[in-house]
Amino acid sequence: VRNVLFLRKYVLLLFGCSSLVLVFIMLQNTEKELCDNQHIVTKNAALSSDKLAELKQKWLNELKKSPSLNGPDEPPRSDALPSVSSLECLINDQQTVQCLKAAGTDGQVYMPFDFIQNYFEVYGKMKHYDGYDRFEFQQSYAKVIYNPKVPYSYTGVFMTFDSYNVEARDRVKCISGITGVPLSTQWHIQGYYYGIQIAQFGMSHYSKELVQRPPTKQVYENAEDSIQGQWKPSNKDCIVDIAKDTETQSNVIKFSTPVSIPLGSGAALILGNTIEHILSFDLKMITNGSLSVVLETNDKLKQYTIHYITSNIVIDFDHKSNIYYGLGASRHWRHIARDLLTDLKKGIGLTDTRQAKKVRINILKVARLTVRGSGFIDNITLSTSEHLSQFHDASQWIYLNQDEETGGWKNEVERRLEGYKPIPAGWISAMGQGQGMSVLSRAYHVFQNPKYIVALSQAMLPFTKFPHEGGVRAVFMDKYTWYEEYPTEPASFVLNGFMYSLIGLYDFKALLEDNYELVTRLYDDGMTSLKAMLPLYDGGSRTFYDLRHFMVQMPPNIARWDYHTTHISQLVLLYSVTKDPVFKKYIDSWTGYLNGKVAKHN
């Protein structure tokens, strides 16, 4: 809209300037003609200066009356409001709402939008444009739908996960310094590892690596002649030197400081970076110690220090300026990547509830890094992203935390669903299995380590067993195979979790190029059920999240709009690899629901 207004103003200005130039030329011609004809009027006096000024003013007045210079520079509007009067509206014989009635009509009634919004669950807000305001109404709040330009592949972006920022969610306690993956507080205040959230964290960074521009990087120390940082010890007992490491076969920085000195003291490396806020380094500790990073922020120019310490603590904040993350013992070489802004916000926003406090703060400068204790460090780098490192951390967690007996990723927290008995800790989710398989398929593609193929093969076992056997398999109406996101009794048939499990099976199936009969059968059985059961999830104006209204005779569990768009995106993905018209039918109708279309009535 702003572009249109600018173009209109530009055209009018150009026309006005052209008109003034034309007037000037006409005046010059007139004066020239007067001079040329002066010999004809030798007996008469030439035009006086007053007469000429009068003539010029007349032309200018006529020009000002031209409609071309007085056209509107914004969309037409009327500031005159219709005459209205107050009107009491009775809603369903239960409540009254104060409305407005237009004069001279019996039918034009204006109801307050806050009532309409709450009553019909619709959305709208006032938008301010260049020169005018407009109210914009929406049937739904979720509009982002997966729309691939090419058929989906396990080597490519996962749905719309390139736009996900899992670590910023208010129910993520923090990114663990020990494992490098999120700790969730969704169902328990203390924080726990939730396989689904970790898989989404991994796939979001994998997807961002594919679509975002390469990061900018600044290497501050790699113990080579080309790059040697300027280290400043706190005292003479703090020593920094270059050493040859036999394990990595490269030069590294060896540091040694008294452990008794305060946190934040030791050997400091000046950084002074105002652009890149992702810190990465390789670390191997010999004794207990710490790595502290000083940040200058826009919080009244306050400095905060994040201390990464050889401890098993998760996160702590002294409510002043010091934030603490545990790195564990770190006695072996490990690559660590930390998003300093996320670590800062999670520390300041730490609460005693399941939701972190929202914090508005930005880093102005990463000032310095200080090591304390004894150990080795290498490749100290600040960059704008480290997506593959974070994807690797997620892949490693999923590989290392797969249950050897069941092949599943157990959720060590009780889960409660309305209408069902609580699911005790240790349950396995089909959605978790599917998303874990999607991560492992990509991990094998990137890192080419056969251990991920072994883990993928074991991950199929829960699909073959029922919940009372430690699996995720269910059967609808004694006919259709289903994979349960939540292993309830009776089954709950959650739609989005089921489709995520099918996508994970498809990824492994595609990776093996259909050469594994079990994964092909599990996938085909699930797809048959999905196509047959999709009508059960169509509510006529929105989808159902699950089938508890059928299984336990509860009111329908209508999907939130973000889950509704997830259902559509999942069908779009499956349609891209199958071209099945059943999926296209529901993609079209469910997309229409987002814009207010509803199913026909009798």
Please list, in sequence order, all residues whose beta carbon lies within 8 angstroms of the beta carbon of residue 215, skipping any fewer than 6 positions away: 276, 278, 383, 384, 385, 386
Tens-place pLDDT, residues 310-360: 999 999 999 999 999 999 999 999 999 999 999 999 999 998 887 788 899
pLDDT value at residue 37: 45
- Closest-CA residue to 185 (of 432, 10, 413): 413
pLDDT value at residue 54: 78
CATH fold of 198-202+390-594, please? Glycosyltransferase (1.50.10)
Residue 4 pLDDT more than 60? no
Measured in degrees and rounded to the nearest 5, phi and psi for residue 98 equal -80, 120
Helix (H) or strand (E) holding 440: helix 430-447
Over range 67-83, report the average pLDDT: 56
Tens-place pLDDT, residues 451-474: 999 999 999 999 999 999 999 999
Cβ neighbourhood burial of 453 (10 Å; 0-12, 13-18, 19+): middle
Cβ neighbourhood burial of 503 (10 Å; 0-12, 13-18, 19+): buried
CA-to-CA separations, 207 to 180, 197, 260, 388, in angstroms, rounded: 18, 15, 44, 10
515: pLDDT confidence band, cut at 50, 70 and 90? confident
Over range 252-263, report the average pLDDT: 94
Ranges 25-39, 45-59, 190-204, 397-411: which has the least confidence:
25-39
What is the architecture, at CATH level 2, of domain 213-384? Sandwich (2.60)
What's the rounded Cα separation, in Å, for the pair 177 and 327?
Answer: 5
pTM score: 0.84
Residue 528 pLDDT more than 70? yes
- Closest-CA residue to 369 (of 281, 288, 453, 449): 281
